[in-house]
Amino acid sequence: MHHANHYYGHSHVLARWCGLDPRRPPRIRGYLQHGWNIGDGMAGDHSYVPGVPTLVWSERTRRRAWALGRHDTYVVGAPWAYLLRMSPEPDAPREGTIWYPFHGWEGQRVVGDHARLVDEIRATEPGPVTVCLYWQEFQSPRLRRRYERAGFRVVCHGYRGGRYRDLDPDFLDRQLAEQRRHARVASNRLSSAVLYGALAGCEPAVYGDPMVLENEDPSLGGQDRIRREWPELHGPRPDPAAARAVAAAELGADRLLPPAELRRILGWPDEYQETYVDDAALPGIRR
């Protein structure tokens, strides 16, 4: 259906869970949430066909979607939560912090003082720091050097894909591998990456100048509402247990579906039945 369903390899991860070829996932019948937000889970810049279902990560998001008039909505859980269930924790020590500066995207850029952010990170983080930049920011040698000169390792998880081109089935696998190297995950705004890290066992933190997104839509409450509704994840040292519980709820980690049920909701055909993965082989499924 919509090309954004393939962002970050989301459809590929769900195909893997369903026992299908993760390199050639069928098209999803509906609009799959591809990032955490405080609205109905969908991107505001996309146009939607009435009557086509939306597939969101959590029950809380489903309730917001209903309140905003999007009633044909189903909770399926975040692809990240499925990936964690399929990826055993490596037996290796964690060290330091992976830090995600708030980033823009192809349609909006971020304005902020990265030098001041560097100072805040150095004053707060006790161990080695890896800074992960969005692909657009990573392409700026000047910005990369700013963080490298501060003594930080700088990485990029890759390109998210778009318009069915340059798809990257391994994006989330690389992100998970990086996060599992680190004891902490942090950003200057609450985001998917922070929630992912909290669910993956990192101690999360949200602090520093949140910066400004060009033409940011304040209609849903903005940063004031985010800090008010999700205080468990804000500050340089939030309680890890409370933060993880919030992350699990926001990512629908308690709502993951068995392969056959997920395949039905995604509109994936029955002829793939021969590749079905036995539910009993997948731990922690809600029955």
| pLDDT (tens digit per residue) in 146-168 | 999 999 999 999 987 766 566 78
The string of pLDDT tens digits covering residues 59-82 is 999 999 999 888 899 999 999 999
Residue 105, pLDDT score: 62
What mean pLDDT is predicted for residues 224-240? 96
Residue 99, beta-bridge partner list: 131, 186
Question: Is-contact 195 176, C-beta < 8 A?
Answer: no
Contacting residues for 218 by C-beta, under 8 A, at least 6 apart: none
Per the rule left: phi > 0, alpha: psi between -120 and 50, beta: everything else, 96 is left
Q: How far apart are CA 120 and CA 100, in angstroms?
A: 13
Residues of the chain with CATH 3.40.50: 97-249
Give the H or E element holding residue 281: none
| Token pair of 190 as six digits | 């609450």
What mean pLDDT is predicted for residues 40-57? 83
User: What is the pTM for the complete model shown?
Assistant: 0.90
Q: What is the mean pLDDT of the chain?
A: 88
Residue 130, pLDDT score: 98
Question: Is-contact 32 7, C-beta < 8 A?
Answer: no
- Tell me which of 50-54, 95-99, 175-179, 268-272 is least confident: 268-272
The string of pLDDT tens digits covering residues 5-42 is 999 999 999 999 999 999 899 999 999 999 999 988 88
How do strand 129-132 and strand 110-111 relate by DSSP bridges?
unpaired
The CATH number fitting domain 97-249, selected from 3.30.1490, 3.40.50, 3.30.300, 3.30.70: 3.40.50
Question: Is-contact 161 8, C-beta < 8 A?
Answer: yes
Distance (Å) of CA 249 to CA 57, 101, 195, 202, 267: 9, 24, 10, 16, 25
Q: How far apart are CA 235 and CA 278, in angstroms?
A: 42
> What angle is formed at CA 179 by the lines to CA 286 and CA 143, rounded to 5 degrees?
135
Distance (Å) of CA 33 to CA 40, 57, 68, 176, 287: 9, 7, 15, 19, 23
